[in-house]
Chains A and B, each alone.
Chain A
Amino acid sequence: DIVMTQSPLSLPVTPGEPASISCRSSQSLLKGGYNYLDWYLQKPGQSPQLLVYLGSIRALGVPDRFSGSGSGTEFTLKISRVEAEDVGVYYCLQVLETPFTFGAGTNVEIK
């Protein structure tokens, strides 16, 4: 199985400040020029929602303050200016091969 390692697991943030979450995979997620890595946000009491797919493509309706980058085994999700509505748990997910595997999650909270 591909192991996904996220860091940090907890991230206190100040509104208006940037934030960054890292995700590392135990093997490359790059295939045919595409990185099969997604980012999801699970707001409190809600189902997860897709933020970014293929490593760097924002999903429809996702604000442009969210950006995904990276390739191979190292990926980053950045929030350029955190807003109060961005609190929740962020997960990376590899969809290169089954079993699909999630990271442990990063809990983003307002300081």
Chain B
Amino acid sequence: QITLKESGPTLVKPTQALTLTCSFSGFSLRSAGVGVVWIRQPPGKALEWLALIYWNGDKRYSPSLQNRLTLTEDTSTNQVLLTLTNMDPMDTATYFCAHFSTMVTTGYFGYWGQGILVTVSS
């Protein structure tokens, strides 16, 4: 059974850095065709893809945020960390992580975490 859960601070101040942890179970990030993605959703707005880490360690970032985003992984603890620097009130959103199945005959976010609402305010 695949599960993912986001954790981290729910309130950050402007200009601070945010680090969120995606803790997962039921799969290995070293299995071919597997990835972990981060997506966010401002209150009342649409989903926005942020970043992806593949099973081989390759990482991809949203071009609009890539100067502020960093993904790291800890395979020993089955965690993927997302760091977003220089937080702004516009970054207030629910942040989701999800399992990405990325074989030729797949390509989907099949399992999602519950999400964590992060508010940026002084």
Contact = CB atoms under 8 A, between A and B. Distances in A.
Interface string B67-98: 00000000000000000000000000000100
Given A34-B105, A99-B62, A47 B113 contact: yes
Interface string A45-68: 001111001100001000000000
Interface in B32-51: 37, 46-49
B27 interface: no
Nearest to A52: B108
Most buried by B among A32, A59, A95: A95
Contact of B47 (A36, A48, A96, A99): A48
Nearest to A36: B107
Interface string A78-111: 0000000000000101011011111111000000
A66 to B, nearest CB: 14
Nearest to A42: B47
B46 A91 contact: yes
A77 to B, nearest CB: 14
Interface residues of B, number: 23
Chain A: number of interface residues, binned into ranges: 20 to 34
Contact of B114 (A47, A98, A103, A105): A47
Nearest to B52: A98
Contacts of A34: 104-105, 107
A102 B49 contact: yes
A95 B107 contact: yes
A91 B112 CA distance: 15
Contacts of B26: none
16 contacts: A34-B104, A34-B105, A36-B107, A40-B47, A47-B96, A47-B113, A47-B115, A48-B47, A48-B112, A50-B109, A53-B106, A53-B108, A54-B107, A91-B47, A102-B46, A103-B46
Interface of B: 37, 46-49, 52, 60-63, 96, 102, 104-110, 112-115
